[in-house]
Amino acid sequence: MSDTFFTASPHWTWWIILYFFVGGIAGGAVMLATLLRFFGKPEDQPIARLGYYLGVGGVVVSGLLLTIDLERPLRFWHMLLQSHTGLPMFKAWAPMSVGAWGLMLFGGFAFLAAAGAAAEEGRLPWPRLRILAEGTLGRVIGVLATGFGLFIAGYTGVLLAVSNRPIWADSNWLGILFLFSAASTAAATLLLLATRTGHGASAGAAWLARFDRGALVLELLALIAFVVSLGQVARVLVGGWGVLLLLGVVGLGILTPLLRPEPHVRAARLVLVGGFLLRTVVLLASAPIHAEGAGVTLR
């Protein structure tokens, strides 16, 4: 039995689950937007712009969720700045510090990419900002936004894995599992937005649907590897959490969209439900576990 059972729960609330979910979608959306920018056709660019808008919107929501969970907003800035000098503070050995800086950098580059896209679309009164979306500068911004976005998408799983909590620390697969889930939920969200904005029948939307199916397959394989890697700890999932994982995440959120991909809208909604339930199960299944004496009790 893993010694990680002898630890206390971090007492995270639903705000953190939502942060993991929204942050993953934001990071995945920027990646998909950049891919459509680089390799898509001219008619795919409206969906690419939607991806950048979704990315920067997701960053704003993620920041608000983190701040609400902290209860005292200044605590977030303490992860970025020294309280007594106001100078930047980066702790490479502290996962929370790395994550805070990653979120800030992702937000900055996602904002630049979104601003360039908005100027290109004529939504801003400063047409010169188109340079942020075009040429070499636009490509550099897109690549950097994508890199930090993928970091945020997978970082949440890595953050859990380096903790001392059961389930989270008993597998090295959480980071890649959350990354694949972020890719699938981002593609599903973009499909829904493309449909609502009149681009649901475009070639870009069809590519998103194919990408989503591939991401779901990878997510399923990573989920299987995650459960197998838990070893004896996997018995924690015998019960309500296991049923939710099997029926809600695998059955409803992965297999149903894969087996019945049409219509895209219904499948995309199920993918989002499955992605949210995945994070719910992973975070909350560990919370009721505590140690009593030399044994382990599952409440």
Is the predicted pLDDT of residue 227 greater than 80, yes or no?
Answer: yes
Q: What is the mean pLDDT of residues 261-281?
A: 90
Sign of CA dihedral 177, 180, 186, 188: negative
Stretch among 44-48, 62-66, 165-169, 266-270 having the lowest mean pLDDT: 165-169
- For residue 254, the model assigns a pLDDT of 96
Is the predicted pLDDT of residue 139 greater than 80, yes or no?
Answer: yes
CATH architecture of 3-298: Up-down Bundle (1.20)
pLDDT tens digits along 70-92: 666 556 555 665 666 655 665 65
- For residue 5, the model assigns a pLDDT of 45
| Local confidence band at 295 (pLDDT 50, 70, 90 cut-offs) | very low
Average pLDDT, the chain: 83
Is the predicted pLDDT of residue 218 greater than 80, yes or no?
Answer: yes
Q: Where do we find the tokens 């838990």?
A: 230
- For residue 297, the model assigns a pLDDT of 42
Q: What is the mean pLDDT of residues 109-118?
A: 94
Residue ranges of domains in the chain: 3-298
